[in-house]
Structure 1
Amino acid sequence: MPKTDIFVHPTSIIDENVTIGNGTKIWHFCHVSEDVTIGENCSFGQNVFIGKNVKIGNGVKIQNNVSVFEGVEIEDDVFIGPSVVFTNILNPRAFINRKMEFKKTVIEKGASIGANATIICGNKIGKYALIGAGSVITKTVRDFELCYGNPAIKKGIVDKEGNINLK
Structure 2
Amino acid sequence: MSDTPSYRVAPGADISEDATIGDGSSVWHLAQVREGARLGTGCVIGRGAYIGSGVQMGDGCKVQNYALVYEPAVLADGVFDGPAAVFTNDHFPRAVNPDLSPKSASDCEPVGVTCETGASIGARAVCVAPVTIGAWAMVAAGATVVKDVPPHALVAGVPARRLGWVGRSGEKLVPASDGT
**TM-score class normalised by the smaller sequence:** over 0.9
Offset at residue 109 of structure 1 (A) = 0.5
- Give the RMSD, CA atoms, in angstroms: 1.6
Partner of 2:121: 113
Aligned 8 A contact 1:72 1:105 in 2: yes
Q: How far does residue 166 in structure 1 lie from its aligned partner after superposition?
A: 6.0
Q: Assess if the C-alpha contact under 8 Å between 1:155 and 1:166 holds in 2.
A: no
Which stretch of the first structure deviates more once superposed, 97-106 or 47-56? 97-106
TM-score (norm 1): 0.94
Contact in 2 for aligned 1:89/1:98 (Cα 8 Å): no
1:85 deviates by 1.0
**Identity within the alignment, %:** 37
Q: Secondary structure at the match of 1:164?
A: coil
Does the 8 Å contact 1:62/1:80 carry over to 2?
yes
1:56-107 CA-to-partner distances (Å, cap 9, x unmatched) read 1100011100111112111100111100011101211112336552112201
Structure having the higher Rg: 2
Deviations 1:95-148 (CA, angstroms, capped at 9, x unpaired)? 233655211220111000100100000000000000000000010000000000
What's the CA shift string for 1:4-56, capped at 9, x where partnerless? 43000121111121111100000110111111111000111100111111111
| Structure 2 contact 71–111 (Cα < 8 Å) conserved | no
Q: Which has the higher strand share?
A: 1
Moved over 3 A (4+): 1-4, 97-100
Aligned 1:115-154 pairs, distance under 5 A: 115-154=123-162
In structure 1, what is the equivalent of residue 173 of structure 2? 165
Provide structure 1 residue ranges, at least 5 long, that are not aligned to the other structure: none
- 1:74 maps to what in 2? 75
Figure out how many residues of one structure are paired with residues of the other and give that number: 167
Determine the structure 1 residue equivalent to 2:99: none
Tell me the residue number matched to 2:87. 86
Please tell me whether the aligned partners of residues 70 and 112 of structure 2 are also in contact (alpha carbons under 8 angstroms). no
